Amino acid sequence: MRIATWNVNSITARLPRLLAWLESSGTDVLCIQETKTTAEQFPAAELRELGYESAVNATGRWNGVALLSKVGLEDVTIGLPGGPDYEGVQEPRAISATCGPARVWSVYVPNGREVDHAHYGYKLRWFEALKAAVASDAAGPRPFAVLGDFNVAPTDADVWDPALFEGATHVTPAERAALEALREAGLSDIVPRPLKYDHPFTYWDYRQLGFPKNRGMRIDLVYGNEAFAKAVSDSYVDREERKGKGASDHAPVVVDLEV
């Protein structure tokens, strides 16, 4: 069973590449972030032609998450139970479902913007709610994972130049502690194996030749419970999908399970 996560940075802009990648990659379940569309505008019909069911949590603008599955899509939960509002709005940043033998979440953790911004506190509260929401499934016997754009680099090795990020979001001790707290819920970081480069980055800024110079970050993560981790037979970042015209600024992260 192949499970992947991908921040597509607008599913409308990325649709031709997404459809081609799904056909070629053999992915059974895909967690999508930053759809930038509404649920009504989501291309469910095009995806259905490839054999994928869709579950969507999206209202347009800058957020939105989805789950695509060829192996079933049951017990769908829209949103983050107990999650905080931002400026009075429950943003569409989480969706979960049972897909065949596994239960998965697709999450798009708030960016945080700046350390002294209200969005940063919102990000930390969101992490607290996520930990509480996944605790029961994480402790269960079936494979369970939270996949998505976490907007946190777990360690300095996950940033191309840590000195450039000093004092900025994505690398602060509080954010990393919030991410690490997911281990207390029984989840561990499924780190992709390096391919061409020592560090399996997943995001490269469009500006200043970030991708050609490999000035990236590993912020698209897979956190799985014990049953999930034991079933992993392979994991990698599909850097090829970051190349070329019309690419997202994130690459898919792929995990293969023997279940």
pLDDT in tens, 229-247: 999 999 999 999 999 999 9
At residue 208, the pLDDT reads 87
pLDDT of residue 15: 98
Reported as a single tens digit per residue, the pLDDT across 31-81 is: 999 999 999 999 999 999 999 999 999 998 889 999 999 999 999 999 999
**Residue 61 φ/ψ, nearest 5 degrees:** 60, -125
Fold of 2-257: Deoxyribonuclease I; Chain A (3.60.10)
Q: What are phi and psi of 213, to 5 degrees?
A: -90, 5
Tell me how far apart the alpha carbons of residues 143 and 129 are, in angstroms, rounded to a whole number.
21
Report the alpha-carbon distance of residue 228 to residue 225 in Å, rounded: 5
What contacts 5, CB < 8 A, 6 or more positions away?
A: 30, 31, 32, 33, 106, 147, 148, 149, 220, 221, 222, 252, 253
Which sequence spans correspond to the domains of the chain?
2-257
Strand partners, 6: 32
Q: What would the pLDDT profile of 165-198 be if each residue is shown by its tens digit?
A: 999 999 999 999 999 999 999 999 999 988 777 7
Interatomic CA distance for residues 202 and 12, integer angstroms:
21
**3-state SS class at 242:** helix
User: What is the model's pTM?
Assistant: 0.97
- Return the pLDDT at 199: 82
Tell me the pairing of strands 29-33 and 2-7.
parallel
